[in-house]
Homo-oligomer: A and B are copies of this chain.
Amino acid sequence: MIKTFIIDDHPMVIAGIWQMLQNADNVQVVGSASDGYAALEALKKQPADVALVDINLPDLDGIELCKKLRERFPKLKILGLSTFKERSYITRMIDAGASGYLLKNANGEELSEAIEAAYRGRMYMSMEAALTIARPVATQPELPILTSREKEVLALIAEGMTNNEIAEKLFISPLTVDSHRKNILAKFGVKNTAAMVKYGMEAGFI
């Protein structure tokens, strides 16, 4: 039996996975957590072979958690789990050491297959995820990657703060804030604040 641990902030999803895996003969769910730090704690006491990690967690995001898990539990295999099929999420999750990526519309069969594959050291990709990363890059606008400082500044801009106000709040020079602002504009490929906020919200940065 492959010991599996679930990390997701929605009890419904945890219950659903639990249910789906109940009559799998190769997989056993040994525990679950609703945020990243709880998972890191719980896994100390309750070792597992495979972890299902939601990308969207309240404390640290799935990618960060994936890295931390890989550090502390090198033998643990990780499967990313989310509703997003954006290319950058998938590739970043794989970069962070995940053994695959599943969408939340997976069924029980796919779940146990994926867990089995990860456990055996193979890579598992749900069909949609595979299609997404296999598609030529030209037709696939890459979600730009913002640094944490840039995300911070972007959020404050969206709050309606000016460069000066943000500078004061972050204890940095207004010129620095302006630099971040310009970098975000460039990364998003937009020409003003309005389009930047719209893009940022649609891409989930805000």
User: Residues of A at under 8 Å CB distance from B?
Assistant: 9-20, 34, 83, 104-108, 157-160, 162, 190-198, 201, 206
Contacts and interface: CB of A to CB of B under 8 A. Distances in A.
Given A13-B16, A16-B14, A158 B104 contact: no
Nearest to A107: B11
Contact of A195 (B12, B20, B159, B196): B159
Contacts of A34: 105
Contacts of A14: 16
Contacts of A104: 10, 12-13
A41 to B, nearest CB: 20
Nearest to A199: B160
28 contacts: A9-B105, A10-B16, A11-B20, A11-B106, A11-B107, A11-B108, A12-B12, A12-B13, A12-B16, A12-B104, A12-B106, A15-B19, A16-B19, A19-B19, A34-B105, A158-B194, A158-B195, A158-B197, A158-B198, A159-B195, A160-B190, A160-B191, A160-B194, A160-B198, A193-B194, A194-B197, A197-B197, A197-B201
Nearest to A83: B10
A65 to B, nearest CB: 18
A99 B15 CA distance: 24
A193 B162 CA distance: 11
A32 B80 CA distance: 26
